[in-house]
Amino acid sequence: MWDQINWPKHERQVSRLQARLVKATRERRWGKIKSLQWLLTHSFSGKALAIKRVTGNKGKRTPGVDGAIWITPDSKHKAIGQLHRRGYQPQPLRRVHIPKANGKLRPLGIPTMRDRATQALYLLGLEPVAETLADSYSYGFRTARSTADAIDQCYNSLNGPTKAQWVLEADIQGCYDHISHEWMLENIPMDVQALGKWLRAGYVEERRLFPTTEGTPQGGIISPALANMTLDGLQTLLETRFPRKWDTKTNRCIYPKVNFVRYADDFVVTGGSRELLETEVRPLIEAFLNERGLRLSPEKTKITHIDEGFDFLGQNIRRYRGLLLIKPSKKNTQAFLTKVRERIQSSGDETQEKLILRLNPIIRGWANYHRHIAAKHTYNRVDHAIWEALWRWARKRHHNKSPCWVAEKYWHLSERHGWNFAADTGKCTDKGNPIRLHLIRAVCFSIRRHPRLKCDVNPFDPAWREYLEQRTLLKRFGPEFVEQYGFLLSSKMRKPVVKTGSASAEL
C-alpha cells in the first residue's frame, strides 16, 4: 500500500541511477545514457517518486481536462501501475490564463494527473543529464541554485574599476511558446516518442481543441528543463568567440569583458563597450536563438551603461560614484506594497489577529528575498508605507474615536519590537504576561551576505553532497552560528575530489 512504501530506500535507488547518468554524460556515452534512462523510467522506485511529487505539490488539487485528481492513498498506489510506455497517449492540456506584471495574460497549460506523473518520471532521468551539460552561469529552475546566486554572479562581473561598463539586457519573446519542435526532438537526450507526444498534444480552451506546432507548454513539470536545455550552449559560444588572451608585451591577460548570466529566459551579457555588444555580441545571440526558433524581444532588449543601472530579477544593479550597489527595484517594491495594501483593504470585518496572519507571510517572503543586498533603506520606507496603510485601516474602523484611543488599541510597546502593530491572542505566559501576535517589520531582517556558489556544482554527483549540505547550513544559520557550533570546517567547503581509477582529480 501507499502508506507502507519505504521512501528512503527508493530515493537511494533513484539517486544511484542518477549518479550513473552523471558519469555517463561526462564520458559522452549516449547509448549508456539511453539504457540508464530506460531502467529508471521502468523502475518501481522512479514511478513511486514521480507520483509522490505530483500529489504533494501546490497543484495537486488542480485537475486537467479529465477532471481526475489523486488524493487518497489507494488512488496514488493504483496510479503507479498506470505509468507505462506502451500504448501511452497524453491528453490535451487545459488552457488557462494568469495575469502578468505588465497587465497582459500569460497562457498556462495544465496537464492531467497521469501526464504530470509521466513527465515527472522522465524528468528523473533527464535532469541529471541536463545538469551536467548546463551552462555554469545558468541559475533558473535548477536544483541548488537561486536568484540570489544569479545576482551574486552579476556583482562579480561588474564590481570593480576594470570590469565591464556596458550591459545587454536580453529577454526572449515568448520563449516557451516558440521553441522549435524539430530542434528539441533532435537534440534533447530523452525518449523521442514520449517527447514528441507531449509537444503535439494540443490544448483545450473554451471547449475547443487547438493543435500545438511549436513551443513547450508553460505548466508542464518537464517544460523548464526542456527550455533550459534549449538555451544551454550560449555561454560556451560567447566564451569561444571572445576568449581571454595573454599579452606578452604587458604580461597581462586581456579579454573583452564579455560575461554571461542567465535565469530561465532572462539573461544579461556584459561588455567592454556599447559597440561590442551591438555589432558582435547581439548578432551572435540572435543567430543562436534563430536556430532554435526563438528571437529577442525588441521592447525588452536594450543596452545600458552600469552608471544608469538596470533591473534584473526584481533588483536594481547600478554603480554610484564608482561603488556598485544592488537594491530592490522600484517596480518590485511598488508591486509588493500594492499587494499589501490590497490585502489590508480587502480584510473587511476581519479581526486584527487574522489580518496580521495574512500579512506576515507576504512581508517575510519579500524581506527574505532582498536580505542579501543593500536593502536597509528600502526596508525602512516599506515599513513606513505599511504603517500608513494600517493607520488608515484602523481610523476607518473607528472613525468616531480619537487618534490616541486607536493607537492604544492596535499598537503596543514591547522590549523586542518597540511600538508595533500587535494583537492580543487571549493567552498568557507562565508568568501571566499576555501573549501578543506582532506584525513582522522588514527592517528587523538583518542583511546577510549570500554564500557564493561554486559554478560547476552538480547536485546529482555524490562528490558534491557534502559541499551542498554544508552550504545549506551556511545559508540557513549564517557563518557565525555554523562556526560557533562546529558544523562547518574550512576544509569541507573546498572543491570536492573525485576518484578516477587509481588516481584522484579535482572537478
One-character DSSP codes across 23-76: HHHHTT-HHHHHHHHHHHHTSHHHHHHHHHHHTTSGGGG---TT-----SHHHH
The span from the CA of 72 to the CA of 58, in Å, is: 16
Cα angle for residues 106, 111, 113 (degrees, 5° grid): 140
- Does the global pTM surpass 0.95? no
Mean pLDDT by 10 residues, the chain (507 residues): 93 97 96 97 96 91 91 93 91 87 79 95 97 95 94 93 92 90 95 94 90 85 94 94 74 78 94 93 96 92 95 96 94 95 91 94 96 95 95 92 92 79 80 82 90 92 91 78 56 43 35
CB atoms near residue 211 (< 10 Å): 9
The span from the CA of 338 to the CA of 45, in Å, is: 45
Q: Which of 44, 33, 54 is nearest to 9 (CA)?
A: 44
Which are the contacts of 82, defined by CB distance < 8 A and separation ≥ 6? 114, 117
Q: Which helix (H) or strand (E) holds 259?
A: strand 259-263
Contact present, 60 and 51 (Cβ < 8 Å): no
Cα angle for residues 463, 467, 473 (degrees, 5° grid): 150
Q: Which helix (H) or strand (E) holds 472?
A: helix 465-484
CA dihedral sign, ordered 435, 439, 444, 449: positive
Q: Which of 121, 28, 35, 126 is nearest to 80 (CA)?
A: 121
Nine-digit cell string for 265:
529566459
Contact present, 45 and 13 (Cβ < 8 Å): yes
Identify any residues that bridge with 252 across adjacent strands, giving them in sequence order.
247
The span from the CA of 126 to the CA of 225, in Å, is: 8
User: How far is CA 383 from each of CA 271, 379, 410, rounded to the nearest angstrom?
Assistant: 38, 6, 16
Q: Which of 338, 312, 340, 339 is nearest to 326 (CA)?
A: 312
Contact present, 52 and 7 (Cβ < 8 Å): yes
Give the pLDDT score at 494: 44
Which are the contacts of 484, defined by CB distance < 8 A and separation ≥ 6? none
Q: Which of 2, 92, 6, 16 is nearest to 55 (CA)?
A: 2
Which are the contacts of 196, defined by CB distance < 8 A and separation ≥ 6? 181, 185
Contact present, 389 and 344 (Cβ < 8 Å): yes
Give the pLDDT score at 50: 96
Give the pLDDT score at 166: 95
Which are the contacts of 300, defined by CB distance < 8 A and separation ≥ 6? 169, 170, 171
Amino acid at 479: P
Give the pLDDT score at 418: 75
Upper half-sphere CA count for residue 60 (Cβ side, 13 Å): 14
Contact present, 269 and 154 (Cβ < 8 Å): no
Q: Which helix (H) or strand (E) holds 168?
A: strand 166-171
CB atoms near residue 227 (< 10 Å): 23
One-character DSSP codes across 175-213: HHHH--HHHHHHHS-S-HHHHHHHHT--EEETTEEE---
Give the pLDDT score at 405: 94
Q: Measure CA of the first residue to CA of the last residue in the chain; give whole Å.
A: 42
Amino acid at 271: G
The span from the CA of 129 to the CA of 348, in Å, is: 51
Q: Which of 148, 121, 111 is nearest to 51 (CA)?
A: 121
Torsion of CA 213, 219, 225, 231, to 10 degrees: 60
Give the pLDDT score at 248: 64
Q: What are phi and psi of 105, to 5 degrees?
A: -110, 140
